[in-house]
């Protein structure tokens, strides 16, 4: 992750509703076991489990980055698997899930897709989730949905 990528992700987090004084922590992923330099870094801004913004946090995730695709074909396979998990029918569990549950499911998939893109440089193939071969915007947090304006729940 570059400085500009980190700045962009932090600005996106603020636009999604994180307060500028939100605390940032560092989470080491299970594959980080030794005191070494790790180049796998991502920003986790999903605090949807906390309804109060004062409880929100942003995590810098540190991980090994050797499992990322080496070819566009490998990346396409991963993106297609994620697209299946991120489609409306799945995230809304055929109408049985709440917006909160769909929000969490979609944005977890988006975090995974963003990691693939950031570390491999391969764009997703165009489809229902990855329109025009680009990563979609995150779903709005439930507390930012304005039902009076007709936004989907």
Over residues 40-91, the pLDDT tens digits come to: 677 777 666 667 777 777 777 766 655 678 899 999 999 999 999 999 999 9
49 vs 100: CA distance, rounded Å:
9
96 vs 35: CA distance, rounded Å:
45
120 vs 28: CA distance, rounded Å:
20
The pTM of this model reads 0.56
Q: Where are the alpha helices (DSSP H) in 1-153?
A: 3-15, 72-86, 88-91, 99-120
Would you give the DSSP letter of residue 140? Answer: P
Confidence of residue 153 (pLDDT cuts 50, 70, 90): very low
Beta strands 57-63; 40-44: pairing state: antiparallel
Over residues 77-100, the pLDDT tens digits come to: 999 999 999 999 999 999 999 998
Q: Which two tokens stand for residue 35?
A: 């005191």
């Amino acid at each position: 992750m570059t400085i500009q990528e980190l700045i962009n992700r932090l600005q996106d987090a603020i636009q999604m509703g994180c307060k500028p004084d939100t605390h940032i922590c560092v989470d080491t992923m299970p594959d980080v076991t030794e005191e070494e330099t790790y180049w796998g870094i991502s920003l986790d801004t999903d605090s949807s489990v906390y309804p109060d913004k004062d409880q929100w946090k942003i995590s810098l995730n540190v991980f090994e980055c050797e499992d990322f695709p080496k070819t566009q074909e490998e990346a396409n396979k991963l993106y297609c698997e994620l697209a299946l998990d991120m489609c409306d029918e799945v995230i809304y569990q055929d109408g049985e899930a709440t917006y909160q549950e769909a929000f969490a499911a979609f944005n977890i998939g988006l975090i995974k897709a963003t990691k693939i893109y950031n570390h491999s440089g391969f764009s997703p193939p165009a489809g229902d989730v990855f329109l025009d071969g680009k990563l979609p915007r995150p779903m709005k947090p439930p507390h930012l949905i304005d039902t009076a304006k007709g936004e989907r729940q």
